[in-house]
Structure 1
Amino acid sequence: MPRRRPRALRAERPASRVSGPTPPLRIHGLSDRASLAVHRVERLSESFYLHAGATDRALRRYREFLHPPGRRPLYPQESHCPCPGCSFDDVRHARDVLEEVLERLPERARAELGRLVKALDTVFLRRTLPDPFADRRQWRTEFWWYRRLADRSEWG
């Protein structure tokens, strides 16, 4: 029986050994290793709101909300649509996504992303006002960013 040539054997092998989709570009402000860990968490998550690119989008939305210069208070707008795309209209949902990713990341990547989020949280606390009626509301949340005043007039 004739021997098979190495070129023929290489041609039968799959081109890539990596399973799943290729990782996205690096998340702004994170190292390659942390970005890959975030991508892995997003890919393996079964959460409705945690999908590929959700963390990058949440960070961008959080930065965009805090971007206007000045000292005037900012009021998060409630999202009128619960779908994964429209829910980022509410910056508090973006913060929810970041919190969920932080809970699932390995220690080093969690620390790196946590430093970014903590800096943004400091600005958020400084630029938003506390809700004096947060304790009297029907729903109570353990997340502090829902206990800040929001603009509810737009959606009723």
Structure 2
Amino acid sequence: MAIHRAERLSGDYYLFPGVTARALRRYQAFLQHPGRRPLYPQDARCSCRGCSFDDVRHARDVLEEVLLKLPFRSRAELKHRIASMDVIYLYRTLPDPFADRRQWRADLWWRRRLTTGGEAM
């Protein structure tokens, strides 16, 4: 209920009703590639609400924004769910030593990982 309220009341273009569930599904789908080989997020071709989810890092951005808007208990529950996926993301992606030059949000740890032009394993 708190998530729906946060989505509905947000003035952020990328936060809209149902976006949290969509971001969770996208993040989970990216992490479910079989094997142990590294995963490389792709850059989105377009920055609209729909296409931006081509980049799994955008899904993680959305989840972080939702966390900031939730009350304590709801935030803790969602954060716990995201944390287990974050562990896998860190394990399956590689650090980008030049992220501060390439990423517009290099302050976010999930954006400091190596990417490719297209999502690949």
Shorter chain as normaliser: what TM range? over 0.9
The amino acid across from 1:118 in the alignment is A
Unaligned runs of 5+ in 2: none
Q: TM-score, normalised by structure 2?
A: 0.93
1:136 offset after TM fit, Å? 3.9
Corresponding residue pairs, total: 119
5+ residue gaps, structure 1, are: 1-35
Structure-to-structure mapping, 1:48-63, within 5 angstroms: 48-63=13-28
Residue 140 to residue 55, structure 1, CA distance change in 2 (3 Å) = closer
Structure showing greater radius of gyration is: 1
Structure 1 residue runs of 4 or more that deviate by more than 6 Å after TM superposition: none
Task: Give the deviation of 1:130 after TM superposition.
Answer: 0.3
CA 1:138–1:131 in structure 2 vs 1: closer, same or farther (change >3 Å)?
Answer: closer
- The residue aligned with 1:20 is none
Q: Offset of 1:135 from its aligned partner? A: 3.4
Letter in 1 for 2:91: R
CA RMSD of aligned residues (A): 1.5
Task: Return the match for 1:86 from 51, 63, 66.
Answer: 51
Greater share of helix: 2
2: CA distance, partners of 1:65 / 1:153? 13
Task: Give a deviation string over 1:5-32, Cα, whole Å, max 9, x none.
Answer: xxxxxxxxxxxxxxxxxxxxxxxxxxxx
Tell me what 1:123 maps to. Answer: 88
Shift of 1:142: 1.1
The answer for the alignment partner of 1:150 in structure 2 is: 115
Q: Distance between the aligned counterparts of 2:22 and 2:95, measured in 1?
A: 26
Tell me how far apart the structure 2 counterparts of residues 44 and 138 of structure 1 sit (CA, whole Å).
Answer: 29
CA distance in 2, matches of 1:151, 1:43: 34
